Structure 1
Amino acid sequence: MTFLRRLLLPLLLLPLPALSQTVSVGVIDAPPFAIRDRTGVHTGLAVDLFRLVAERAEIDFEMTAVADDPVAALADHDIVLPVEADRALEAAADLTHPVYTATLGYASKVGSGPLAVVRGLMTLEFLRIIASVAVLLLVVGAVVWLIERRRNTEMFREDARRGLGDGFWWAGVTLTTIGYGDKAPVTVAGRAVAMLWMLTGLAVSASLTAAVVTLAGGGGGSPDLPEALSDRSVVVIEGSAAQAFLDGRGVVSETAPDAETALRLVETGGVDVAVGAAPILQWQRDRAGHDLRVRTTKWDPVLVTMAVAEGDALRERLDRALLDVLTSEAGQELVRRYLPDEEG
């Protein structure tokens, strides 16, 4: 009996496992992933997903608002959320599976009126479109001219300079379906090429119309970064993944402390574009009622995750529960609630 008492006494004196205690969760304010209302209650996509995870993993927790530095917050808390995964943070802490994968987006003013249309068309993207269409018209016009120049000299003159101009003009009016009728092929081969061009021109014309409407509508060109920002002033959130992405590609930008400040700069004309994680920009725009357009790109996935101390066994427990929650109907419903379909 004395032997058993000596064996069990040290075990009884050991501290209880950390997972049986209340876990301290530090929450960084980052709407729509973490939102704190006036009463101090935390909500948001990452916060509500964590609540489901904690319920599934049988973890008791308490939440506390913390500053934006997740490494510093881990000194006083077991878990910090939401954080953007990057190499530096991974070196200082362990990160769970992402709760959401976002991509970069950019916010700009919604154009309206003739001046906005002109500005939308005065872009490198519009010049590329015009140049591509001109080359296509020249090729098609040259083919028709080569076929028609001997038997249809009245409409397609034999002189190369004038004849190529005739072919170019015919290809253009045929593409746009205007069809003045001043020029038309008369040979069998020329009419076959004309029929093929008319059918192909339907697709070309539709694509051209869509591209021009997008540019004239104030979209300002392709949503691909960083080309879309080459001739614009840019603001990013300080310390964000967007700042690292643009700095690495030579785009000069100024910084703002948060998304709301960045969007306000765009709306007041201080800068042309605000760049950041697309869901954050969209949420802030809708919340504040900014008259801005947020375009989602396919660039630089932003992994929104949770951080724990290095080597903490809590991470594996969180990961297992998180995978179950993210694939459940409740988890998918949370994503749809906070992040409806993003604009393209």
Structure 2
Amino acid sequence: MKQLIARITALIERVTKWVMTFRVVRVFMHFSANGGNLLAAGLSFQAIFALFAALYVGFATFGIVISNNAELQAAVVEWLNTLVPGLIGPDGATSLDELLQAQILGWTGAIAAVSLVWVAVGWLGTAREAIRRMMGVVWNPSNGLILKVRDFGLAFILAIAVIISAGLMVLSSSLLTNVVDSLGLESDSWIVSGLARVLAFIIMFVFDAGVLAATYRVLSGVKVNGAILFRVSFVGGLAMSVIMLLGSQLASGVGNNPLLASFATLIGLLVWFNLLCRVVLLGAAWIAIESEDRFGSLPGTEPNMGEGAKHPHSLTGGLGTGPGVGVTL
């Protein structure tokens, strides 16, 4: 009997060692060991407040640009609803008319705008700490004012990127219409519909991958190896694009629950943000694990990866032993 137990134990150990050779397994274990579920929940909750704050300030600032262009206005709304399903519309979290009425003129408007911008940018600071924690990188105290200025700059660039992406959607749609007309195809054919979806997905993917790359490199302040950053941003951008495409189905699934119907939009946004935050943090865990595998140290600690961290230790075989491993927040 003892021999049988010993054999079973040895078999389990061998299977465990074999399973641990897969990087994806170690990434998920690192994510779990470093509080990934809790961090994703906190980020998604704070993202709700940051989203509505950013919407108010964004439309109050850039509303003048799009209010006189109905096509661009429709494209921006469609793009925002693609990024955040069920956000703007009659049955959405807010309406376009309410957003276009947002103003930051006067003392009260200015004070409200500053407060809302602070809330929106505050999410970036929280995301920075969560990502660095997931990467296992020591928090290197920097000038708080410089960090805030950088966060404001990132938020502004992101707002511009949303408008540019919406403009690209309009341009691609116009080009597709011209091509369809020149070929004599019907605009409502399945070929045209399929091409439109493919173009929208490509634009969405490039946008998501670019945002992820900026998040891991610029927002976190860690110099990640270029090849690792490209792979993580590519796969993460693909995952986020798929989640966004399925977002309407996720939101409708929540709305079909009679117990949640009265606040289905809010619950849907929380679920949706939670999924996206998990993708972001899993990507950070992937960076930590692959950096450990390739360089034997945390991201940012090797000369060819920059000096974004000063921690001399590894992640204990790439897994970490808990939230405090390699992290001092």
TM-score (norm 1): 0.22
Indicate the structure with greater strand content: 1
TM-score (norm 2): 0.23
Indicate the structure with greater helix content: 2
